[in-house]
């Protein structure tokens, strides 16, 4: 089997699996215990509120500053 044939087979496999995977994703999202999830995430939200950047800039700005420092 050539490389092109392998790539086509790979793409076809994912195309065929896509609808079933979407059904699984939707079922898992629907069956999720949202109350428990929120309880588990609460400490992270509280931490984020306590450690908000001093200049109240959006997080994306802070992230870009951090990445810029890493490049140097």
Domain-wise residue ranges, the chain:
3-71
3-state secondary structure at position 1: coil
d(CA 45, CA 9): 44
pLDDT of residue 53: 63
According to the model, what pLDDT value does residue 55 have? 64
Mean pLDDT for back-to-back runs of 10 residues, the chain (72 residues) = 93 96 94 89 90 70 85 78
Going from the C-alpha of 20 to that of each of 9, 11, 13, 14, 36, the distances in angstroms are 18, 15, 12, 10, 27
């Amino acid at each position: 089997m050539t490389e092109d044939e392998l790539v086509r087979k790979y793409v076809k496999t994912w195309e065929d699996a896509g609808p079933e995977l979407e059904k699984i994703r939707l079922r898992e999202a629907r069956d999720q215990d949202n109350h428990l999830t929120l309880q588990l995430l609460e400490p992270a939200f509280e931490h984020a509120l306590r450690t908000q950047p001093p200049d109240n800039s959006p997080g994306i700005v802070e992230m870009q500053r951090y990445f810029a420092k890493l490049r140097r």
